[in-house]
């Protein structure tokens, strides 16, 4: 288990806040032991939350060009046929994974291939499970074409708490299945748009792991 690079600033601010809070309490109300102990417990809990949120576990990736790996840890909240209107402009199977603040928030490439499309959209911060979050929230859209010509589109979507989406890919980049392509801070969702005929390997409500759980098998 390691600490993700995206969390360094948040961790530094957390430590600074804890130091200032406790220093002020010691200086102004040194006799208020109960308040100081409450502050100690709060400080410890805050530190643990930050460390836990930005954890980056080491995992073993089993690459398979016929399979689509889950891009994030979380819970499957959507499996349905939809029309993808931004880039593909055709009917796809959408599988959406909701990441709570307790989940690992590393995002991983579901397939290997070449990035054919990338776009960042500033937007709103509706709750991640809101139906309009896919089209109105802050988000990125990434489409990757694998060596067999299948294109899988996936979308990072910020939630009500998430205020920063980070990505590490651009158009024409060659990406590797299971490797990190981004990170979303503090609660979010990832939508994956699969070709029709893909065999879905998860069910609604399933708890999934990024880079480990197989979402679907691509058409043969």
Backbone angles phi, psi at 158, to 5 degrees: -75, 150
Q: Is 144 in contact with 111 (CB distance < 8 Å)?
A: yes
Supply the DSSP string of 61-111, one letter for each residue.
Answer: ----TTEEE-SSSEEEEEEEEEEETTTT-EEEEEEEEEE-TTS--EEE-SS
Q: Is 181 in contact with 108 (CB distance < 8 Å)?
A: yes
* Catalytic entry in 112, 133, 134, 188: 188
56 is known as an active-site residue: no
Termini Cα distance of the chain: 37
Backbone angles phi, psi at 192, to 5 degrees: -120, 130
Handedness of CA 151, 147, 177, 61 (dihedral sign): positive
Alpha carbon separation from 84 to 93, 121, 172 (Å, rounded): 9, 16, 21
Handedness of CA 197, 158, 103, 145 (dihedral sign): positive
Catalytic residues: 188
């Amino acid at each position: 288990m390691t600490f993700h690079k995206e969390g360094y600033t948040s961790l530094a601010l957390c430590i600074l806040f804890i130091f200032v809070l406790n220093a002020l309490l010691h200086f102004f109300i040194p006799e208020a032991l109960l308040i100081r102990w409450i502050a100690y417990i709060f400080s410890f809990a805050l530190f643990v939350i930050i460390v836990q949120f930005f954890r980056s576990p080491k995992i073993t990736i089993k690459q398979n060009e016929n399979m689509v790996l889950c891009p994030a840890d979380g819970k499957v909240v959507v499996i349905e046929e939809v029309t993808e209107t931004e880039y593909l402009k055709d009917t796809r199977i959408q599988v959406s994974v909701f990441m709570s603040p307790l989940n690992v928030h590393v995002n991983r490439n579901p397939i290997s291939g070449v990035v054919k499309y990338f776009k960042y959209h500033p937007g709103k911060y509706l709750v991640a499970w809101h139906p309009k979050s896919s089209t109105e929230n802050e988000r990125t859209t990434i489409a990757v074409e694998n060596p067999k010509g299948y294109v899988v589109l996936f979308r990072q979507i910020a939630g009500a708490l998430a205020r920063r989406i980070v990505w590490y890919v651009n158009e024409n980049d060659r990406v590797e299945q299971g490797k990190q392509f981004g990170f979303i801070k503090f609660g979010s969702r990832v939508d994956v748009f699969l070709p029709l005929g893909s065999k879905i390997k998860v069910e609604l409500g399933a708890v999934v792991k990024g880079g480990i759980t197989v979402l679907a098998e691509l058409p043969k």
